[in-house]
Structure 1
Amino acid sequence: MEEQKGATEAESLLEDLGFDKLPIKVSQFIDAVSDGSFPITMEFHAFSSDQFLGKAIGNSEGAGIIINSNIPDSRRLNFTAAHEAGHVCMHVMTGTSQNFSCGNKELGDYFRDPLERQANGFAAGLLMPKRLVKKLTDGDVNWQNIKHISDKCDTSLEAVFRRLSWLEKAPVAMVIHQNKQFKRFVPTSHFDFYIQQTNLTSEQLEACTNVSQESYPSDFDTVDPIDWVTPERKGLRLTELYVSSIMLNDGFIYTLLSYDDDCLEEIED
């Protein structure tokens, strides 16, 4: 798995360099990796278009990172910087490639490009190293734990979800809506059911927790799976589904889907 290769590389470097406290500052990491034989610089410039996120360029003598300071979300900007650091450490320094430009087009090609997946894994391992993150929660993939890690590591909710769900090997997925309209979903390798790409119903909207007014929830509602997924696959039927939705700014609604063995039954031939 390319993401895990990247995460392992980042965690190994952090341990070698003596980073043992959160949050991990990307600029401090770059300073620690950089030396006279291979200097690395990181600069922030305001680009008018958010289509461009970041860039990593270099050769055998050194490397430079450029980040679009106009990325509106500071935590997304932080992850972008860590992603470009991954390109430098894993690809430029090793001679694999000398030039990476990351934007919306590259995100669209993400699953077809193993180097982008390695850099994303590196960013996750750099900002959320397993040995430090595992101490922060009880291991459950719920909004309360995700929010806690997000605050401690200065990373987005989605990035934390991806990292925590992998660390816990949990059958979970995230569905993202905006103004009730389906936008996309974030699957994980342990979630075995197809997600319905449908808009939110009034009942689903009412079940959301508005986290600008209430605390991030740790609990889930038990619902009929058919409202969220195709409930039959690989000889199994999902009889119940655990759901937890939060309402964020700009009309965004993030929903966690989860199940356990008690929710499954075998389909008889």
Structure 2
Amino acid sequence: MEEQKGAKEAESLLEDLGFDHLPINVNQFINAISDESFPVSIEFFAFESDQFLGKAVGNENGAGIIINSNIPDSRRLNFTAAHEIGHVCMHIMQGSSQNFACGNSEMGDYFKDPLERQANGFASGLLMPRRLVKPLTDGEVNWHNIKQISDFCNTSLEAVFRRLAWLEKAPVAMVIHQNKQFKRFVPTAHFDFYIQKTILSTDQLVSCVDVNYQAYPNEYDVVDPIDWVVPKRNGILLTELYASSILLKDGFIYTLLSYDDDCLEEVEDLDNLEMEHSQHFGRK
């Protein structure tokens, strides 16, 4: 995968340059890769819109990075800076391209652009290198561990989720709602079921932990899969699902979904099941 190629490149550079503790400071990293033969600079400007995130421009003589300081979330800003450093190290220094502008519109085509995926992977590996992140938790993909890594590494919950899910090869997914309405989901390679893009029910809202006032949970609830996913695929039926939801600011609700082998059942004829599920969602 392109993301893992980027992460490995970042981790290799960190080791070569002697970075051995968290958090990784992006300015210190830039100073470490910059020299007289190839100077690299970073500047922060307050652009009016947060639609523009960052830019990396350069040639064989050096490179410059510009970051929008008006990105409202400081941890997202930090990840954006690391992303642009990825473009410098993996693409500008290598001569594959000289100009990258990253905004919300470019991120919409993220999966179509291998260079953007490499830069995102680089940012993950730079801010959350495997050898420094693994000792922080017990390896379980839960909100308590995600929050802990987020605090140590100065990265967003979503970025940590992606990184931890890949490191642990776990069948997990993240679903994001705002004010009960479905916004998007964050897929992982090991989660095999399709996410339902439905509004949150009263029961789902009640199960949320308000982390503005409570600790981030380290456990999951057992729920009916049909409330979250299409519970069948390729002759496999998902009989149970584990869910853990947290309430953040501005009405955002992040939900982790997971399952294990005990939740799976092989079935041969799913025609009737498909009809039942279609009727179920049609009633909602």
- For the aligned pair, the TM-score class normalised by the smaller chain equals over 0.9
| Consecutive unaligned residues in structure 1, runs of 5 or more | none
The residue identity in structure 1 corresponding to 2:166 is: W
| Partner in structure 1 of residue 281 of structure 2 | none
Is 1:25–2:40 an aligned residue pair?
no
Is 1:226–2:226 an aligned residue pair?
yes
Residue correspondences, number: 269
The residue identity in structure 1 corresponding to 2:154 is: D
Is 1:255–2:240 an aligned residue pair?
no
The residue identity in structure 1 corresponding to 2:224 is: D
Question: Distance between the aligned counterparts of 1:77 and 1:145, measured in 2?
Answer: 22
Question: Distance between the aligned counterparts of 2:89 and 2:223, measured in 1?
Answer: 45
Question: Distance between the aligned counterparts of 1:52 and 1:213, measured in 2?
Answer: 32
The residue identity in structure 1 corresponding to 2:125 is: G
Question: Distance between the aligned counterparts of 2:155 and 2:70, measured in 1?
Answer: 17
1:105 is displaced (CA, Å) by 1.1
Question: Distance between the aligned counterparts of 1:44 and 1:212, measured in 2?
Answer: 30
| Partner in structure 1 of residue 150 of structure 2 | 150
The residue identity in structure 1 corresponding to 2:40 is: I
| Partner in structure 2 of residue 169 of structure 1 | 169
Question: Distance between the aligned counterparts of 1:215 and 1:51, measured in 2?
Answer: 32
Once the two structures are superposed, the pairs formed by residues 94-173 of structure 1 within 5 Å of their partners are 94-173=94-173
Question: Distance between the aligned counterparts of 2:233 and 2:192, measured in 1?
Answer: 7
Q: Secondary structure at the match of 1:135?
A: helix
| Partner in structure 1 of residue 68 of structure 2 | 68
Question: Distance between the aligned counterparts of 1:213 and 1:156, measured in 2?
Answer: 19
What are the Cα deviations for residues 29-75 of structure 1, in whole angstroms up to 9, with x where unaligned?
Answer: 00000001000000000000111000000000000000000000000
1:239 is displaced (CA, Å) by 0.2
1:234 is displaced (CA, Å) by 1.2
What are the Cα deviations for residues 74-117 of structure 1, in whole angstroms up to 9, with x where unaligned?
Answer: 00000000000000000000000000000011100100000000
Question: Distance between the aligned counterparts of 2:240 and 2:218, measured in 1?
Answer: 18
Question: Distance between the aligned counterparts of 2:94 and 2:104, measured in 1?
Answer: 26
Question: Distance between the aligned counterparts of 1:125 and 1:202, measured in 2?
Answer: 38
The residue identity in structure 1 corresponding to 2:253 is: I
| Partner in structure 2 of residue 9 of structure 1 | 9
The residue identity in structure 2 corresponding to 1:42 is: I
Question: Distance between the aligned counterparts of 2:15 and 2:56, measured in 1?
Answer: 23
| C-alpha RMSD over aligned residues | 0.5
The residue identity in structure 2 corresponding to 1:119 is: A
| Partner in structure 2 of residue 180 of structure 1 | 180
1:17 is displaced (CA, Å) by 0.2
| Aligned sequence identity (%) | 78
Question: Distance between the aligned counterparts of 1:169 and 1:97, measured in 2?
Answer: 32
Q: Secondary structure at the match of 2:116?
A: helix
Question: Distance between the aligned counterparts of 2:64 and 2:265, measured in 1?
Answer: 54
| Partner in structure 2 of residue 87 of structure 1 | 87
Question: Distance between the aligned counterparts of 2:38 and 2:230, measured in 1?
Answer: 52
Please identify the structure whose Cα radius of gyration is greater. Answer: 2
Dislocated runs of 4+, deviation >3 Å: none
Tell me the TM-score normalized by structure 1. Answer: 1.00
1:268 is displaced (CA, Å) by 2.5
Question: Distance between the aligned counterparts of 2:234 and 2:36, measured in 1?
Answer: 56
The residue identity in structure 2 corresponding to 1:63 is: A
| Partner in structure 1 of residue 197 of structure 2 | 197
| Consecutive unaligned residues in structure 2, runs of 5 or more | 270-284
What are the Cα deviations for residues 155-174 of structure 1, in whole angstroms up to 9, with x where unaligned?
Answer: 00000000000000000000
Question: Distance between the aligned counterparts of 2:28 and 2:106, measured in 1?
Answer: 27
